[in-house]
Structure 1
Amino acid sequence: MSHLITLATCNLNQWALDFEGNRDRILESIYIAKEKGARLRVGPELEITGYGCLDHFLENDVCLHSWEMYAQIIKNPKTHGLLLDIGMPVLHKNVRYNCRLLSLDGKILFIRPKMWLANDGNYREMRFFTPWMKPGFVEDFVLPPEIQKVTDQKVVSFGDAVINTLDTCIGAETCEELFTPQSPHIAMSLDGVEIITNSSGSHHELRKLNKRLDLILNATSRCGGIYLYANQRGCDGDRLYYDGCALIAVNGKVVAQGSQFSLKDVEVVTATVDLEEVRNYRANFMSRGLQASLSETKFKRIDVAVELAPMKARFDPLIVPSKSRPIFYHTPEEEIALGPACWLWDYIRRCNGTGYFLPLSGGIDSCATAMIVHSMCRLVVKEASEGNEQVILDARKLTRGGEGWIPNDPQELASKFFHTCFMGTENSSKETRDRSRELATQIGSYHVDFNMDSVVSSVVSLFEVATGKKPVYKIFGGSQIENLALQNIQARLRMVFAYLFAQLLPWLRGIKNSGGLLVLGSANVDECLRGYLTKYDCSSADINPIGGISKTDLKKFIAYASTEYNMPILDSFLNATPTAELEPITEDYVQSDEIDMGMTYEELSVFGYLRKVEKCGPYSMFLKLLHEWTPRLTPAQVSEKVKRFFFFYAINRHKQTVLTPSYHAEQYSPDDNRFDLRPFLINPRFTWASKKIDQVVAQCEGKTTDLDIMSID
């Protein structure tokens, strides 16, 4: 016996506070779901407002406009005929909740508030919302008067309930609730809920998707049931990129999976599933049956007198259940190529930008940034070739292309909006200049190449005239502070030139009715963590697509791109020694990033992970690394590296307060803006922790020391 039902979930590219645009994308997803024969459609978390409104959620206007958009959706007859699960904020008894609204044929069935809020890492939901702390409890919600006129209802149920149709039972959980130890779906499944929806606003991090999918598959494998996961996609106006990957799982197997990265604003994922498979799976799982019979959690049923799976569909030989399929994962290199590229596309098209400007230094970081823009161009061309009308319209708007123009070549597209520049000095090598020029040629950017020695010399001469003293580089006998000042003035002047050229290049090229270009930064996450950058140099930009990506991952991405995009020039970037080229090159000296920093990029990644993700201070980090890095390094060497890292991290922490907004891709990002909330005035010596580290080193070396932790003498 079969009991077949078609279900729909979706990825939507919503935008914070874009109420009408968000409404239209929701409507489009509903229309597509109906065309595919779906009887239930679930969308992303807070899809009417966009997930990333942040403190705008504290404005009551946001709740008001949400109701106005919701009314326009459910009163539209084209949305009738399937059960809708839509997300928006709701004010109930003067308390703001993150809610799911379930409706059918223009009637609201009930409102389900989120019970467990995401409140760590990038998330601060408890700043905006209150969790529903009454499991299994339901109370009346009086609808706003304007909604009462639309639905002809005054009161609906509000709380922790489920929907009971004539042929199945449906429950909803929201994003973070899946990640909690005692997820709502556990109690729901034990109480007979067969279909569980999860509406999410989950952002992309490298190598994160497998965790999300493991939780879903484990949930349905242990509990049985059908699980519909919906997610937002796109930048939503902030540092995060929500990476989609909507899917449908049945009894621990995936039967439908959407894309993780795409320029499609609306993607609907459907599957035809058999409710009898769920019933058979659960009924033959004896220990589950015992737990279900003993479970004290009984959900209030909201009865709906409809069948989601019509009788004729149960026996129609033309309706076939969706087969299970393997999960598709992108490699980290592909994630870097696709995630930041989609984020950049959303950013430029939604800010009505004229284009991007990138200081192209000839090093691997700016190379990686350029290649992400190239990847973006390839994605645009691909979507245009497949007839994506929104992408075509956005591309015409960005490039001032005429009606009928369709982007069909990544290099041609780049030539219209992407601008690069090599800002050389006497310290720049011919190799870096040549690499920059060749890369610009291959990706199609409009490239400028100039020397700025005269400006640097003028600034230094001005200081000499004003003070009577002339700073010189260290290799010529100068002090460390002179050496650093001479490097920093070059770096800061590059930032000034970047914005000058970004404003004037469109004018130079005769691009009419255009503003300035958006300046791209290219400081990687490890350099930001260590503070190995000049404050207000060309790391200061409008946005930075690689600011959350490690040097190690960037190298792997460039190696991948060299083959994938058939660009052998990229190999020369990989083989070059990372250098800032801010000091003179002599026969005996070439500046090196890793020598300057006193640690390798691989070591920085380890330090960053332990500090942020595993919450290690200097002492606990030293103890962990003592076990991992010996005998390759002596205890004294491990001690020196840990102390050096924390010293430079502390004295440079202030730089993170003005860090360019970066694409978030790594768990150990030092971004001071909401993600890494640490003070920027810290004693860099960490004196007590250092004493305890020294004690352990002494013990390892066979020396006897005694650190009296109780004494204040």
Structure 2
Amino acid sequence: MPKIALAAGVLNQIPLDWKGNQARIIDLIQHAQQQQANILCLPELCLTGYGCEDQFLSAYTSEKAWESLVQLLPHTQRILVWVGLPVFFEGKLYNVAACLAHGKLIALIPKQHLANDGVHYETRWFSPWPAGKITHISTNLGDIPMGDYRIHAHGITMGIEICQDAWEGENRPAHALAKRGVSVICSPTASHFAFSKSKTRQGLSIEGSKIIQGAYVFVNLLGNESGRTIFDGDAYIVHKGQIIAESSRFSFQDGQLIIASLDLKERNDAGKDVIIANIPSFDSVREFPAFEAAAWEKSSYLKEEEFARAVSLALWDYLRKSKSFGWVISLSGGADSSAISALCFLAVRLASQELSWTGIQEKLDYLPWMKEVQSEKELVSRILTTAYQGTVNSSDNTRASAKALAECIGTTHYDWNIDVLVKEYRGIIEQAIGRSLSWEQDDITLQNVQARLRSPSVWMLANINNALLLATSNRSEASVGYATMDGDTSGSISPIAGIDKTFIRQWLIWMEKVGLDGTLTLSGLSHVNSLEPSAELRPLTSKQIDEEDLMPYPILNSIERWAFYDKLSPEICLKNLIQEYGTHFSEEQLTIFCSRFFRLWTRNQWKRERYAPGFHVDDYSLDPKSWLRFPILSAGLEKDIKP
């Protein structure tokens, strides 16, 4: 019975970063060899990056990936490696797992099923490979087997499932591979983060190992690769339904390796679809330490932990990959801007905990002032800038809230008043139209001018600091357009655009009272957690409350999900609303809420088209460029409500 060391290598890659991606791959291959691993599986499309978008349609992209592949061969003298890249064949582009062993390219095995929902758009670029089809491709390395092959080496037979392949139920390749005979399935993947999705991937890995009664090696990409999408960096080595090793998700490292030595059933497979890989013997395989999931994975607050870690890593990656010098936030003292400020702080804290101070300096060595910084506290003050921009309509409570959080996390914080700007613009318009503006007649105008006039000043701070301005809109506000275009929507990235307001408020309370791992809390959030969400754009005497302007956020979130995730009609949404909330609100109130939602939804699609890119964190999104398309002009949906 052969004993082999199976390894899975998580990678944090960048689209089109030929040298960087290759260097990180070589580092993991060398690490695996040093650890005496026999087989190493790397993520899907890791040579190019998964998020190359329409650049996949350029032959140049696959040509550069092929160049990188060839340059990897000398690094595979004592190991078998699976690495992902795009390959053109007979006029079509395929998503391929390449098998490299003993310095040679053994085979190219293409993906059979393409992901084409949500953030995935693979059929735009790739073609699915027919199950069972085997052929050869002519390359500068000679004729290379390409197709639905199995690889045999020293009594071990391997097959491949690439990401979506494993999600196809009875049609997943594992079933056919089990009948044909394999000891191991390797699953190179680029599966985006969404709450609790890792549990599904874990389940698919366990199921795959049971199907073949052997070993299943799953490996995912890591971090914010291309802007919107976050990858967990999860990896699993499973044997006969039991997880033997797994990675720690949301690592701040460039890569992560897990290894396990397994006794596998010896096979002597042959046939047209079997390729022999002549690689060094698997003798004298050593035992490896346990690779276990982090303790927080078992937390009863898993969603809160995942949100904090995923978005913090995404912010960190976006910062360093864009070579930006920091983040700038218009800190209103409200829930959204407070959450984003806290997440930026957590990005630095978590990076520091994992990388050490030396690692932080290496990651941020492009910053001209980085050598001057001697501690995490100093770094936060240099890298994170916040500004409270008050008006006569701002309360002392929100000013105190902003100040308390800024002091708690150590930002460079400013506090200024923009009333003089509001007065100036108001005077210009009043003179132009020949009348005074009033709250009775010009409510939206007078609200929006305040929000918009906060944008130029905070943009100036971002420009001065060569920093990223972070927009502060959440998904609930985006659905009904409850945000001022070119005001609070200003920014280059919108970290919480993919999550609802209700969860943001819940997360802030958790972050204050429980915190990451039950230990890392932020007491400076106590002020914001005591406040009722308010835009504070009307006179204080009006006591403006967001949920009175709109509707209770839980109701808003329910309608949004029913309509655009479950794809229910407005009429059914109202029926559901009455059934779920009828004991707390009258049917007339619920009808008003439902009608208001669909009216505002339809009216504000143009805003969603212009929002800054947001991180994908939930199982759906309102982003029209990556998830949900809706006409900018339409006859609307509120007309279809029939109470």
Which TM-score band (shorter chain)? Answer: over 0.9
User: What amino acid maps onto 1:525 in structure 2?
Assistant: R
SS in 1 for 2:307: helix
SS in 1 for 2:181: coil
1:269 matched to 2:266: no
Indicate the residue corresponding to 2:507 in structure 1: 557
Quote the offset at 1:485 in angstroms. Answer: 0.5
Runs of 4+ in 1 over 6 A off after TM superposition: 320-327
Map 1:566-605 onto structure 2 (within 5 A): 566-586=521-541, 589-597=542-550, 599-605=551-557
SS in 2 for 1:156: strand
Q: Relative to structure 2, which stretch is displaced further, 156-165 or 551-560?
A: 551-560
Indicate the residue corresponding to 2:446 in structure 1: 486
Map 1:466-477 onto structure 2 (within 5 A): 466-473=432-439
Q: Which one of the candidate residues 593, 615, 632 is aligned to 2:567?
A: 615
Gaps of 5+ in 2: none
Q: For the structure 1 residues 165 and 260, does the alpha-carbon distance in structure 2 shift closer, same or farther, using more than 3 Å as the test?
A: same
Indicate the residue corresponding to 1:301 in structure 2: 274
Q: Which one of the candidate residues 361, 381, 385 is aligned to 2:356?
A: 385
Q: For the structure 1 residues 678 and 110, does the alpha-carbon distance in structure 2 shift closer, same or farther, using more than 3 Å as the test?
A: same
1:522 matched to 2:472: yes
Q: Relative to structure 2, which stretch is displaced further, 609-618 or 558-567?
A: 558-567
Is the 2:102–2:278 Cα contact (8 Å) retained in structure 1? no
Quote the offset at 1:530 in angstroms. Answer: 1.7
**Structure 2 CA distance, aligned partners of 1:324 and 1:187?**
31
Quote the offset at 1:685 in angstroms. Answer: 4.7
**Structure 1 CA distance, aligned partners of 2:417 and 2:373?**
37
Quote the offset at 1:559 in angstroms. Answer: 2.0
Indicate the residue corresponding to 1:697 in structure 2: none
User: What amino acid maps onto 1:682 in structure 2?
Assistant: S
Indicate the residue corresponding to 1:544 in structure 2: 494
Q: For the structure 1 residues 414 and 387, does the alpha-carbon distance in structure 2 shift closer, same or farther, using more than 3 Å as the test?
A: closer
Indicate the residue corresponding to 1:12 in structure 2: 11
**Structure 2 CA distance, aligned partners of 1:549 and 1:323?**
32
Indicate the residue corresponding to 1:644 in structure 2: 596
TM-score by length of 2: 0.94
Q: Relative to structure 2, which stretch is displaced further, 644-653 or 607-616?
A: 607-616
SS in 2 for 1:522: coil
Quote the offset at 1:566 in angstroms. Answer: 3.9
Indicate the residue corresponding to 2:460 in structure 1: 500
Is the 1:384–1:406 Cα contact (8 Å) retained in structure 2? no
User: What amino acid maps onto 1:96 in structure 2?
Assistant: L
Is the 1:608–1:668 Cα contact (8 Å) retained in structure 2? no
Quote the offset at 1:140 in angstroms. Answer: 1.5
Is the 1:163–1:304 Cα contact (8 Å) retained in structure 2? yes
Gaps of 5+ in 1: 149-153, 280-297, 507-515, 695-713
**Structure 2 CA distance, aligned partners of 1:466 and 1:251?**
77
Map 1:127-166 onto structure 2 (within 5 A): 127-132=124-129, 134-143=130-139, 145=140, 148=141, 154-166=142-154
User: What amino acid maps onto 1:4 in structure 2?
Assistant: K
**Structure 2 CA distance, aligned partners of 1:492 and 1:50?**
37
Per-residue CA distance 1:602-651 (angstroms, 9 max, x = gap): 12222222222212231232344444344554554443332221111111
1:434 matched to 2:433: no
Q: Relative to structure 2, which stretch is displaced further, 53-62 or 599-608?
A: 599-608
Quote the offset at 1:175 in angstroms. Answer: 0.6
User: What amino acid maps onto 2:87 in structure 1?
Assistant: V
Is the 1:255–1:271 Cα contact (8 Å) retained in structure 2? yes
Map 1:67-216 onto structure 2 (within 5 A): 67-74=66-73, 76=74, 78-132=75-129, 134-143=130-139, 145=140, 148=141, 154-181=142-169, 182-216=171-205
**Structure 1 CA distance, aligned partners of 2:294 and 2:363?**
34
Quote the offset at 1:329 in angstroms. Answer: 5.2
SS in 1 for 2:145: strand
Identity across aligned pairs (percent)? Answer: 30
Q: For the structure 1 residues 323 and 338, does the alpha-carbon distance in structure 2 shift closer, same or farther, using more than 3 Å as the test?
A: closer
Q: Which one of the candidate residues 445, 448, 460 is aligned to 2:411?
A: 445
**Structure 1 CA distance, aligned partners of 2:330 and 2:291?**
50
Indicate the residue corresponding to 2:340 in structure 1: 369
Q: Relative to structure 2, which stretch is displaced further, 85-94 or 549-558?
A: 549-558
**Structure 2 CA distance, aligned partners of 1:38 and 1:632?**
61
Is the 2:232–2:250 Cα contact (8 Å) retained in structure 1? yes
1:57 matched to 2:56: yes
**Structure 2 CA distance, aligned partners of 1:323 and 1:363?**
41
**Structure 1 CA distance, aligned partners of 2:104 and 2:46?**
19
Quote the offset at 1:320 in angstroms. Answer: 7.1
Per-residue CA distance 1:6-43 (angstroms, 9 max, x = gap): 11111100000001100000001101111111110110
Is the 1:399–1:416 Cα contact (8 Å) retained in structure 2? no
Map 1:411-426 onto structure 2 (within 5 A): 411-426=377-392
Q: For this pair of structures, how many residues does the alignment match? A: 632
SS in 1 for 2:364: helix
**Structure 2 CA distance, aligned partners of 1:492 and 1:535?**
7
